[in-house]
Amino acid sequence: MILFPRRETTESASSTPSISVTPTPSTISSVPSQSRGRTDSLVDGTSALLIGNSERPSPPTSVQRHLSAESSAEPAAREALNRSPSPARRRRSGSGINRTVHSVEDEEPPQSLFHLRGIQDALANARDLTTRMVNILAASALHQEPGSSIQGLYQRAVVLSEFQPPSSRTVGLVGDSGVGKSRLINSLLDKRDLARASSANGAACTCVVTEYHYHDRNDFVIDVDYFTIDDLEDQFRELLRGYREFRNNSQNMNQDEREAMKKRADLAENTFKASFGARFDNNNRLFLSSPLEEVVTTMVAWATEILPRPGALNQEGRTQESFATIDICSERLQALTSETESAVQVVSWPFIRKIRVLLRAHILSRGLIIADLPGLRDLNSARQNVTERYVRDCHQIFAVVDMGRAATNIGVQEVFALARRANLSNVGIVCTKSDDIQAREARTAWETERPTIDRLIAEINTATQSLEALETDIQEYSQGELSREEEQELIEMEREKRQLDLQENIMTVRNNKVRAALQSEYRDRSNIKTFCVSNTIYDEYRPKPVETALPFLRLSGIIELRQHCISIVAESHRRATTEYITNEIPALLGSMELWVQAGSGNASAERKQQILESVTAVESELDKLTYPTTRLSEISRSVVHTFSDVILQYMRQRARQWSLAAGNASMEWQSWHHSSFAAFCRQYGTHTTGAIGSRCWNSEAMESMTTDTTQQWDTFHIEVEAFLGRTSAFIEEVFNDIFRITNQAAASQQQTRTALRTLLATLRSRRGIVMYSIEDLTLTYHRRLSSLQTDAFSPIRTSIIGQLLEPTYRAANMECGTGSDRRRKAIITTGFRAQTLFDDHRRRFRERFVEISNELQEQMATLIAEQLAFIEADLNTLKDENVVLESERNPEFRTRLATEVERVEDELTRVRRAVEEVANAVREDVDMEG
C-alpha cells in the first residue's frame, strides 16, 4: 500500500530518508474518498529522468541483440497497465479479465550464449534424439539380456536422454538476523514461507549453513549433516572455559574484560541450555566446579545420546526426511534451526553442521545451489570457521543488508574485509526493503527534487478524482458484461498504472543513491554487483494476474537478481551442452553403428584376421594410457616433487628467519594499552581502534614469509601448469597415433574399411570427451591451488597460520583479573615467536597440497578408465564372435536400428550446425564491436 504524505506544516528534518513503500490497497472502493485524496505516496518518485546521476542505457551487446531478435514482442503486462480500460473496448471484447498468474519459467533468460533460443532449441532437439535411441533399443528383448551389447547401449542411451548440465555453482547469502534474508530466499525460490524469518517466540538460528538444491520431484527433502563427536568435544571445551571464567572470576575483571567475557559466557549458557535442556539447569554446580575435562566428557556422553544413531544415517552420514507439502517441510526446517519456548526441551541446531533442502524450484533447476549463511561475527569460533570456509568456496557471495543501513552495516564491512584478506573477487551486495520509502522525508532530504515531488503529489490528487469518474463510467458502460469484481479489477489496474510510474521512479532514485554510496564506501573494489530488492512488493503482487503483477515484480528487483544468479552458471552449461551434442551423442551413435555393421559384413576368415590385427594395434596404443610407469600414473608424484623442490625446500631454509620476524612484530604490540591489546586478542588479531587504527597481527607476523615466497609460488605455478599441459599433449598424442593406425588400416583393408572408419569416428568423439573432461579437471585443480595459496599465505582465521595461532588467542582470551595484561601479552609473544610455528605451517601446507594432487590423480585415472571401457566395448563389438552372432541373429531389428541411426545422425548434424551458426554469429558481432 502506498503511503501518501499527510499535509502537515511540520515535516521531518532527517537528512537520510528512511524508505517505506508498501503495496497498494487491493480495492480502491474500500478506501474512503477523503483518505484517497491524501498525498503521502511513493511520490518521492522524483522522476529518474530528472535526476542528475541517472545512468544512460548501455548500447546492446551482441548477445543482447540476439536475445532481442528472438523475443521482439513487448511484454503484454506493461502494455496492459499503460492502457486505460476503455468501456467500449470492454464491450467489444466481452466480459473477462485475464487472471493468469506470472510463471517464473516464462521470465526472460540471462543475456548469455547458453540461453539463446538457438542453443536451447538445439539442446531440446538433442534430448529428443537420445529418447528416440532409447525407444528403438528398448524394442529389442536384448536390452534386458544381462551382458548383451544392446543392454550396454540401452543403458548409455538412457543416461544421455536424461542429460542435464551439472549443478556446479553456489550462490551464498550472508546476513544478520532481521535483514530479510529468509524472505529473499523464498522470493528467489518462488516458494513463499519455506524459509521462515526469526520471530519473537522462536528466533531462527543464524549459525547453521542451509543449502537449497534441486531435485525433479514434487516432495521436499531435508538432509542434516551433524558435527562429529570430536568437533563437538572441541566446541564444548572452548565454551565451558568461557562460561567458567566469567562465572567464577568476574569480580576480578575490569569493565572491558567483564563485557567481553559476559558475551562468551552468555553464548556458552545459551548453547548448553539449547543442547541439554533441564540437564544443564540441574547440574549447574557440575559445570562450574568439577574438573573441566570431566564436564566435557559428560557433555560428550549426553551428546552421544542425542545425536542420531548410526543406523539412522544414510551412506553420506546424514539423516534424511521427506515431506509432501511445503508447510510441513517449513515447520520441520524451523524446528531444526530455532530455539524452543520450553525450558527443558533440547533443540537440534547446536549439533548441526549443515542442512540441505532438496526441492523443485526453477532457479535451482538451472544448475544453482543457494546457500543461507550466518554472519561472520559468531562468537562460537567453530561455527565462524565453518562460515568463513564456506564463503571462500562459493562462486558468488552476496552480503544481504537492510537498505537503510547498507553503507554503514558492520556485517557488510566484515564480508568485504574477508574478501580483501582472502583475495575474493566474487562479492556483491543485496539491499532489501527497497520499497521502504517515506515521501515526506524524501522531500525534506532531497531538496533539489522537492518541486518534482510537489508536482507528483498534485498529479496523484488529480488521478484520484479521475478514478472516481472512471468508476462511474465503467459501471455505466459495462451494461452488465462485467461483474462487480471485474469492474473493481479494472479500476485497480488504472490506479496501479498511475502508481507504478511514481513508485518506479522514486525507487530508482533511491537505489541509484544507495549504489553510489556503496561504490564510494568500497571504492577499492571496482564494479560491485549491487541489487536492490523488495520482498514486500514481490509477495504482494506474486499471486495477482500477470498483466497487473509483472511490472511490479520487475520493480521488486527479484526477477533481475534471479536472472543474474542463473547467469553465473551459464558458461559452464554452454560448454557441457556443446560437449553433449558434439561428442557424447555421436560416440553412442558410433557404437550403435558398429553393432549394426558387426552382423552385416563378410564373416570370412581373412576379414576376421584383419579386424583382429587392427584392434590389437589400437589396444597396444591405448595401453600407454594405463601403464604403471606412464605419465598419467605419475601426475601426483611429479607435481609433489616439484612442490617440494620449489616451495618446501625454500620454506625450510627460511623458517628460522621468519620466526624471528614474527617475534619482533609481536614485541611492538607489547607497548599497547591493555584494553586495546585485549580487544585485538578477542578479535583474533584483526581489529580497528581509534588510537591504533586497523591492524592484523597475523598479517604482520607472516609478512616476511608472504613477501619471500611470492616469486617461489609464481615459479611453481608456471611449472605445474607446464606439466599439466604436457600431460594433455601426451593423451592427444596417444589418440593421434591410434587415429593414424586406424586410418592406415582402413585405407589398405577393403573388407574392413567401413567398420574401421566408423570406429575412427567414434574414437574421435571419445578423444573429445576425454580432453573436455581433462580440461575441467585441470581448471578445478587450479582453483584448488588458488584456494591453497590463500590457506598458506593469507592471515584469515581459516588459513593455516590462523588455525595454528587460534589456541594462542583462546588462551589469551581466558586471562582476566590482576596481572592479566602481562600474562596475556606473554602468551601472544610466546605463540608468535615459537620456532615450531613455521615448521608446522610448512607441514600442513604440504599435507593439503598432497591431498589435492592425489585427488587429481584419482580423478584422471577414473576418467581414463571410464572412457577406455567404452572404447574396449566398441573393439569387442568388432572382434567378439558373440557380439557378431548377437547382431546376425536379429536381422529385422538390425535393419530398423540402422535406419534410425542414419536418421538421427542426419538430424544431429543439423543440430550441431545450428549451434555453430549461433556461436559464430555472436563471435562475429563481438569482433565487429572490438
Q: How far is residue 763 CA from its own chain's centroid?
A: 36
pLDDT band of residue 466 (cuts 50, 70, 90) is: low
pLDDT per position as a tens digit, 584-595:
999 999 999 999
**Residue 353 · residue 231 · CB < 8 Å:** yes
Confidence grade of residue 77 (pLDDT, cut at 50, 70, 90): very low
Give the pLDDT mean for 41-68.
38
> pLDDT-based confidence at 289, cuts 50/70/90?
confident
What gap in Å lies between CA 888 and CA 142, rounded to an integer?
13
For 125, the enclosing helix (H) or strand (E) is helix 117-138
Write down the number of H helices and E strands in the chain. 36, 13
| Per-residue pLDDT band at 75 (split at 50, 70, 90) | very low
Parallel/antiparallel/unpaired status of strands 396-402 and 169-174: parallel
Lowest mean per-residue pLDDT among 534-548, 843-857, 890-904, 916-930: 916-930
Residue 793 or 604, more confident? 793
* Structure confidence at residue 825 (pLDDT): 95
Q: What is the pLDDT of residue 470?
A: 59
Residue 476 has a pLDDT of 58
- Per-residue pLDDT tens for 623-658? 999 888 788 888 999 999 999 999 999 999 999 999
Higher confidence at residue 828 or residue 96? 828
Give the residue from 667, 589, 520, 590 showing the smallest Cα distance to 134: 589
Range among 20-29, 370-379, 713-722 with highest mean pLDDT value = 713-722
pLDDT at 729: 94
Per-residue pLDDT, averaged over 151-157, amounts to 94
> Out of 7-11, 493-497, 767-771, 897-901, which region has the weakest mean confidence (pLDDT)?
7-11
- Cα separation, 39 vs 30, in Å, equals 17
**What is the dihedral angle through the alpha carbons of 535, 536, 538, 539, rounded to the nearest 10 degrees?**
110
The verdict on pTM exceeding 0.75 is yes
Q: What is the pLDDT of residue 328?
A: 94
Angle at 37 between CA 34 and CA 41, to 5 degrees: 135
Q: Across residues 887-893, what is the average pLDDT?
A: 81
Between 657 and 608, whose confidence is greater?
657
Question: Which residue in 48, 110, 193 sits closest to 561, CA to CA?
Answer: 110
Is residue 204 within 8 Å of 334, Cβ to Cβ?
A: yes
Which band of pLDDT confidence, cut at 50, 70 and 90, is reported for residue 484?
low
pLDDT average, residue stretch 820-837: 93
> For residues 118 and 917, is the Cβ–Cβ distance under 8 A?
yes
**Residue 6, C-beta contacts closer than 8 angstroms, at least 6 positions apart:** 38, 39, 40, 440
What integer pLDDT is reported at residue 247 of this predicted model?
Answer: 83
Nearest alpha carbon to residue 848 among 906, 784, 892:
784
How far apart are the C-alpha atoms of 126 and 347, rounded to whole Å?
49
Q: What's the pLDDT at 388?
A: 86
Return the higher-pLDDT residue of 81 and 595.
595
Contacts of 2 (CB under 8 A, 6+ apart): 21, 22, 23, 24, 41, 42, 499, 502, 503
Question: If we measure between CA atoms, which residue out of 495, 487, 211, 467 comes closest to residue 355?
Answer: 211
Q: Which helix (H) or strand (E) holds 689?
A: strand 686-689
**49 or 222: which leads in pLDDT:** 222
What pLDDT is stored for residue 125 in this prediction?
A: 93
Question: What is the band of 846 on the pLDDT scale with cuts at 50, 70, 90?
Answer: very high
E strand map for 130-239: 169-174, 209-214, 220-226
> Quick one: which of 466, 400, 398, 404 has its CA closest to 21?
404
Q: Closest Cα partner for 795 from 293, 388, 379, 422?
A: 422
**Average pLDDT of the chain, as a whole number:** 81
Beta strands in 186-259 (DSSP E): 209-214, 220-226
pLDDT tens for residues 410-435?
888 888 888 888 888 889 999 999 88
**Consecutive H or E run containing 866:** helix 837-879
Q: How confident is the model at residue 742 (pLDDT cuts 50, 70, 90)?
A: very high
Q: How would residue 298 be classed by pLDDT, with cut points 50, 70 and 90?
A: very high
Is residue 11 very low, low, confident or very high in pLDDT (cuts 50, 70, 90)? very low
Mean pLDDT score, 493-499: 66
**Taking 50 as the threshold, does the pLDDT of residue 221 lie above it?**
yes
Strand-by-strand arrangement of the 427-432 sheet: 319-323, 220-226, 352-359, 209-214, 368-373, 169-174, 396-402, 427-432, 530-532
Band (pLDDT 50/70/90 cuts) for residue 57 is very low
The dihedral sign for the CA sequence 131, 137, 140, 143: negative
* Phi, psi dihedral angles at 12 (to 5 degrees): -60, 140
Average pLDDT value for residue range 733-749? 90
